[in-house]
Amino acid sequence: MVGSIGNSRHAGLARAVALGAACVLASEAAHWWASRRHFPPTENVGGPCALIVLGYPPRTNGGLHPVQKWRTQLAARARDALGAEKLVFSGAPSGGRPAEADVMAAYAKSIGVPPEALATETRATTTWENVAFSRALVGGYKRLGIVSDPLHAARARRYLWQQSPELAARLVSAGEYRFMDHFWLKMFSTGYELYLAVSART
């Protein structure tokens, strides 16, 4: 009887592990797929480059949130890879906390991004507005990357095609996808993007 209970527990644990692994891999696949979507048919090569970095709310005490930290690190990595000259952080204040853009730009400076490469847009409260309000700050660049987790960045690129096809034609990959990089945050993003997709159909 004891052995039977032990075997049952082990089987249940194995099923839970398998289910968890399947969810992680499904999320990774979704992010990989998204990282290749909503680009122009021909690759943009050469010319000045800017990045729009999508904001996220800071902690309730105004401190840097892990999602903000990750997105800023992605932006710094993309800057190095693309030779980007300008990083535009977008995101408004909310709930008495500092502006998302200001918190992320301060962290970017702390990890070595030159102050002259940084710009902030502090009015946007949605992803649509992140894109809309940042457009004027990046219009003079020949190449444009959008930085966030891959699913979120893909949605923002889709919004840019809707708002300004001329500017969207300058899009380049920010190289945001890496297998299993911050997979726990990517799973959260997968759930949220799925929620948005279902909500849009109801």
**How far is it, in rounded angstroms, from Cα 54 to Cα 180?**
21
Q: Where are the domains of the chain?
A: 30-200
Cα atoms in the Cβ-side hemisphere of radius 13 Å centred on 97? 20
**How far is it, in rounded angstroms, from Cα 17 to Cα 183?**
15
pLDDT at site 136:
97
Amino acid, single-letter form, for residue 92? A
pLDDT at site 6:
57
pTM of the model: 0.91
Encode pLDDT of 145-187 as tens digits.
999 999 999 999 999 999 999 999 999 999 999 999 999 999 9
Give residues with Cβ within 8 angstroms of 67, minimum separation 6.
56, 185
Residue 119 phi, psi (nearest 5): -140, 155
Average pLDDT per 10 consecutive residues for the chain, totaling 202 residues: 61 82 95 97 93 98 97 98 98 96 98 98 98 98 98 98 98 96 94 91 64
**How far is it, in rounded angstroms, from Cα 117 to Cα 105?**
10
pLDDT at site 45:
85
pLDDT at site 7:
66
CATH 1.10.10.10 fits 30-200, yes or no: no
pLDDT at site 24:
94
Give residues with Cβ within 8 angstroms of 68, minimum separation 6.
55, 56, 58, 100, 103, 104, 107
Give residues with Cβ within 8 angstroms of 59, minimum separation 6.
65, 97
